[in-house]
Structure 1
Amino acid sequence: MAFYDSDKHLIPIMMQLIAENVGEKTYDFELARECSRHAVRMSHIGECFSSDAFSFIGVPENVLSEIIFDGDFVGTAEKIVERLLSSPKHRNKIEQYPIIGIGTSVGYGLCGETRLYVVQRFRC
């Protein structure tokens, strides 16, 4: 399973773009990096991506994790954020819960290559 090092490159850009579009305050990037490490570990668990698996890798209980599949993922922060914000379901969650981490990965499952990203938010 391949992994793009979003921790250093993609995450800060994505979080800045979301902040500009949604009006959220500055993020705790150290906490975001920690949550992104959980996302990477999640994406490496076999071929089945399920939110239930988060309980096995130590994600804090007060963190809400969401896996978003995107077959058209091209790796640019702008396109990912645009797709995320254009979805009423995801935008509603973004407005409800502050985003604290984003991780990206590429998995290989039953349908071939699946690109995905995982978003973590504080749970109320």
Structure 2
Amino acid sequence: MTARPRLPNPIDSVALASLNTPDGWLAYPLGDDVIEGQPDTRMKLLRTVGVKTPHKSVAFFTSQPAKFHWRFDNDEAFVLIEGRIAITMDTGERFEMGAGDGVSIPAGHTGICEVFEFSRKFTVVTSGTAD
């Protein structure tokens, strides 16, 4: 998997971002994980660390139609804001989602993500323990 961009945010700062503005979007290349299509994935980070968690990514994420491998190295939860996707987990379970649907996936899983139409989500990824 291609290395993902990371931005430092002061740990105690308030982060504000909009899905609807062009500023702040970063390329999120998927490299060899792409099975088909050209996802042109992008993200807009709001947070990269938490006050009580060593890793916490809070971001908007977009993708064009495509199919790609996805590893859930950390706990991940997201709400699909726009579009239609399906995730087929390594367990064989398949989750189809539309705008307004949310999911929480524990670390350690892998799967195949299919993006059927342009999609946008709001995601939170965490690892570590809170004190």
Coarse TM-score class (shorter-chain normalised): under 0.3
Select the structure that is richer in helix: 1
Select the structure that is richer in strand: 2
TM-score of the superposition, structure 2-length normalised? 0.26
TM-score of the superposition, structure 1-length normalised? 0.26
Q: Which has the larger radius of gyration?
A: 2
